[in-house]
A and B are shown apart, each in its own frame.
Chain A
Amino acid sequence: NAGVTQTPKFRVLKTGQSMTLLCAQDMNHEYMYWYRQDPGMGLRLIHYSVGEGTTAKGEVPDGYNVSRLKKQNFLLGLESAAPSQTSVYFCASRLYGTGRSYEQYFGPGTRLTVT
């Protein structure tokens, strides 16, 4: 099993350009998450999904859109990139349920720079 994979690993964008980050998981997990990680700020939740066809906003959703057309994939889109979106983006997935012990499995991250 590959677990959680993310593409691309690195990307440089100019202000105003658009791009899509792809997250794929092969563990049949219901829940998927997109986080961004900035120095000194831990991870902040951008958007999440509790199942195929559903998405919801997290703490910092502005400037991002997401789609979950297939259970195994969760896409994060930037329509018009801004320098403030320079960050490392992590995707995570976990099993269904509100059980308190469920582990999140993280991908290796995508390092995005917006100039």
Chain B
Amino acid sequence: TQLLEQSPQFLSIQEGENLTVYCNSSSVFSSLQWYRQEPGEGPVLLVTVVTGGEVKKLKRLTFQFGDARKDSSLHITAAQPGDTGLYLCAGATSGTYKYIFGTGTRLKVLA
């Protein structure tokens, strides 16, 4: 069974601080996606990374895919209260249309 472990599970920080969320697996993925989910809503895609070592930036969010395509990280610079939410990573294996979701990181940014 493929597993995606996310850490930390919970994170509460002050506005303006930096943070990193990790997504790790023993399996190789052909692509990895990051989603953010607000309370009472479905997840919304933030980014997809597909190449080992790839780094993508989305304003204050930086996403990295590990060289071996088994892990990924999400770094947020100068967090804001609007970043509060549940962050989920999801990996796809080659040639499939199914995704394995991580356990999630619940982030709270205090003003």
Contact = CB atoms under 8 A, between A and B. Distances in A.
Interface of A: 4, 31, 33, 35, 40-45, 48, 50, 58-59, 90, 92, 94, 97-98, 100-104, 106-109
Which of A41, A94, A102, A104 counts the most chain B CB atoms within 10 A?
A104
A92 B1 CA distance: 22
Interface string B92-111: 10111111011110000000
Nearest to A100: B31
A29 B17 CA distance: 40
B78 interface: no
Contacts of B95: 98
B48 A103 contact: yes
B103 A4 contact: no
B42 A100 contact: no
